[in-house]
Amino acid sequence: MKKSIKIILFIFLLFSLWYLFVKPSDYIINFESKSLPGTINQSIKLWGKGLKSTTVLKQEDPNNILQTFAFSDSVHEYHWSIKPIHDSLSKVSVGVKDNNLKNSIINRLKVPFIKTDFAKRSEKTVYDFMTVLKDHVDNFKVTIMGEEEMPSKLFAYVTITKEQFHKAQGMMDNTNFISDVLLKNNLQFDGLPMVEVTDWEKKTDSLTYNFGFPIKKVDTLPDLGEIKFKYLERKPALKAIFNGNYISSDRAWYALINYAKNNNISIRETPLEVFHNNPQMGGDSKNWVTEVYMPLDTTSTID
C-alpha cells in the first residue's frame, strides 16, 4: 500500500514539474477555419504586421509560427500550429505563454480553475485574428479547373523581388512604366498583364517574379534597358480561377499545391498568373478574375 502511494506521489510530482516548467504553453486555444494552411499562414503574418502592439514573428515551418506580443505590462508568445483536416478545413492550435517565469507559473496554477486576465487577453487576441481570417476567406474564391496548357506569348517584363504579400504592390509600381515604354516604342499589346514567378522562398516569404505584358511579335526587339523580353512556352499545367483582390491571388497557389498533392501530380512551384481586371477601375474585387497556372514537372513523378 505504501509503495503504491509512493508511486502515485512520484508520478504526481513528475506531472507537476512538467506542467509548471516544461509544458510549452500556459494556455491553449483551438479553432477551425474553412481554409488551407497556406492561407492561414499568410493571414497570421499580414495581421501581425498591422497590429499596434510590437510583434516579432518566427516561422519554424509553414505550419508552425511563433509570434511575440509586447504588451504594456508583459510579453507573450503565441505558437500557432496549423493542421489540415481536409481540402477546405484546417485546425489551428494556439499555445500562449508569458515570457516571465513567475507569471507563467501563476498562469498555470490559476487557468484550470478561474478565467484569468491572461486567459481573457489570449482569447480576445485569437478571436480578433479569427474575425480577420473569416472576413478574408469570405472575400475570395478559388476554383480548380484541372490540367490545361499555359499560354504561349512574347512577354515584355521587369524582374521584381518582394515579400510575398507585396507582390501586387510591385505590379502597381511598374504597370504605368511598362505600358508607357511599350507604347512609345510602338509595341502592341497582345493580351492581359501577367506575373511569372521564378523563385518562391516560403520560409522567408521572398518572391522573385517577372511582371509585364504579352506583346505582338516584331522583326526586331528594341533595347529597353530594364524591360526585357522572353518567349513563354506552351506547357502543361494545373489551372485555377481566383476571384478576389490580386493581393491574395497566392491563395490559389496553395490550393493548386494541395490539389497536386492529393492527386499524386508532380508540379513546379513557379506559378503563372493572368489578370483580367484593372484594379484602378474599382468595382467589387470578388468579381475580379485571375487565371493561375502551376506548371507540371514532367521530369519526375511522385511515388
pLDDT class for 12, splitting at 50, 70, 90? Answer: low
Given a cut of 70, whether residue 244 has pLDDT beyond it is yes
Length of the chain: 303
Q: In Å, how far from its chain's centre is CA 21?
A: 33
- The CATH number assigned to the domain holding 75 equals 3.30.530.20
Domain termination residue (choose one: 138, 173, 195) = 138
Looking at the structure, tell me whether residues 219 and 251 fall in a common domain: yes
Instruction: Flag whether 2 is in a domain.
Output: no
| Mean of all residue pLDDT scores within the chain | 91
Distance CA 285, CA 278 (A): 10
Above 60 in pLDDT, residue 224? yes
Q: Which of 105, 138, 171 is the last residue of a domain?
A: 138
Say if residues 208 and 159 touch (Cβ distance below 8 Å).
Answer: yes
Q: Residue 60: pLDDT above 80? A: yes
Q: How far apart are the first and last CA of the chain?
A: 57
226-238: pLDDT as tens digits:
999 999 999 999 9
Residues 52-76: what's their mean pLDDT?
87
Do 165 and 229 lie in one domain? The reply is: yes
Per-residue pLDDT of 245-296, as tens digits, reads 999 999 999 999 999 999 999 999 999 999 999 887 778 899 999 999 999 9
Among 22-26, 44-48, 258-262, where is mean pLDDT lowest?
22-26
Does residue 301 form part of some domain? no
Beta strands across the sheet bearing 75-86: 27-33, 89-98, 75-86, 64-70, 54-61
Task: Give residue 118's pLDDT band: very low, low, confident or very high (50, 70, 90).
Answer: very high
